[in-house]
Amino acid sequence: MKNLTRPDSDEYFLKIASVVAERATCRRHHVGAVAVKNKHILATGYNGAPSGSRDCLELGCLRDELKIPSGTRHEICRGIHAEQNVIIQASLHGVSLEGSTIYATHTSCVLCAKMLVNAKIRKYVSFGSYNDNSFADLFREAGIEAVIKKRPSSRINFLD
């Protein structure tokens, strides 16, 4: 029998966030987010155009066309960030994110960080860095624990 190690909760939910990110329609970054409370998934979100509208895979990236650097001029992008979508999905289904942990493939931009503070999350766990670190001061001030882990293995282990 193979000697398999069971991933801890952080690695498990970060792997799930990575799979969620595969649904992203952004040409620059595939970002996934998972809201978790008491080891149960509350909602997921990925970055992309609003539901029912044409996305960047179809239309191309407006930010690239205008040569806008990552981490700036968020209002130019037609996409919604993964954290915004996780908040929206929770809201649509009547689920509070208060006291939850957000697992995401990238650290938060400051706009998403503001929303997460108001959603009253308790913790944010990520492995990738976004080109805007101002979330860290805001989370610290709001008492939200921010943890940066190493990227989990993309390998899925099965018993044969």
Is residue 145 part of the annotated active site? The answer reads no
**d(Cα 127, Cα 111) in Å, to the nearest integer?**
19
Contacts of 125 (CB under 8 A, 6+ apart): 10, 13, 14, 101, 102, 103, 104, 146, 147, 148, 149
CB 151 within 8 A of CB 11: no
**In the chain, how many H helices and how many E strands?**
6, 5
Catalytic residue among 22, 65, 83, 141: 83
**d(Cα 123, Cα 143) in Å, to the nearest integer?**
9
CB 45 within 8 A of CB 32: yes
Residues taking part in catalysis: 83
